[in-house]
Amino acid sequence: MPKFFNEVWLRDMSPKTMQGVVDFLGNLRNGVRPHNLPGDLKLLAGPWLSNEEAKVYFVFEIDDPTETFEAFAERVADGLFLKRRLTLIQDWDGARSFSKYLSSREARAAQTA
């Protein structure tokens, strides 16, 4: 299943916002999700709070990340989140496989030259 690194900018670090973040992500850590997050979403790592800006980070897997739109937009509308950046990530076996692919591509190009 695809894995995503999620960066979420918080509205601020006020007590109200932080309690909302702690509650929401704490529930996800315990496998409890709101009705508008798909059942196949699984939190794999984190969450972590940035000590430099109002931001949290976590890694999750899900087949279709567009299915998180409503849950995320609801938290934006409620004033908890400002924006996010989802980055599709590959595990290290995938990185090794890609490295081998690039090496074999280079070797084939050298043979045809």
Tens-digit pLDDT profile for residues 16-42: 999 999 999 999 999 899 999 999 999
- The CA-based angle 45-47-51, given to 5 degrees, is 130
Pairwise CA distance, residues 19 & 74, whole Å: 16
Query: SS3 of 14, please?
Result: coil
- Pairing between β-strand 81-89 and β-strand 3-10 as defined by DSSP bridges: antiparallel
- The CA-based angle 22-86-19, given to 5 degrees, is 10
Domain around 19? 3-112
The number of folded domains in the chain is 1
Whether this prediction's pTM lies above 0.85 is answered by no
CATH number, domain of 79, equals 3.30.70.260
Residue 58 CA from chain centroid, whole number: 5
pLDDT of residue 112: 78
Tens-digit pLDDT profile for residues 65-75: 999 999 999 99
